Structure 1
Amino acid sequence: MPTVTVGDLSDGAFLLDVREDDEWQAGHAPGALHIPMSDFVARFGELTEAAPQDGKVNVICRSGGRSAQVTMYLAQQGIDAVNVDGGMQVWEASGKTVVDDKDQPGTVI
């Protein structure tokens, strides 16, 4: 499973957040694309429209389990995807910005 640490992500790296709506609304990385894992196959086209053609898709969830499953699916589709190790819990613990659905300071649940 290809993985990347939160610390190794460059500023502006493309993030795909696969957590559920309530988790996203409480707090997420600014600029991330949100497609819940439960809707992922049906909404796959949104990713292909938004993802950079020549870059990695960094997949993130709360702790890394759901994002690992989506990363495997994306790899099977020929997409250069990596799992963000530790997910949003590590993102927040590392001091990275977390915003809620109103772009105010958020929290990871």
Structure 2
Amino acid sequence: MINDSNESLVNVYRVIRDTPEELVGLLAGIQGEYHALQGRTERRDYFMEKRRVFNEEHPDGITRAALFIFFMRTCYNGIYSVNRKGRLSVTFGTGS
């Protein structure tokens, strides 16, 4: 049984348990796109677009898990924080 108040984190655990190959494939795609970008501004814009998708489009479980992991690597100081509406509110990090 997986239990946590953070639904996105619970989703990551379930996706890793149930469909790890698909998750790895999505993460590889995100990584390739991100690392192909030139400079901080392009990477920040990419981050902001992925945050918009995460918050507004409510992607499927596997995509949501991949984006959650992406945010843990690119959010400011690796912080995951949501606002009162449950939307990811952390900005792009300095070490990304």
**How does the TM-score come out when normalised to structure 1?**
0.28
> Which structure shows the higher helix fraction?
2
**How does the TM-score come out when normalised to structure 2?**
0.30
Computing the radius of gyration from Cα coordinates, the structure with the larger value is 2
> Which structure shows the higher strand fraction?
1
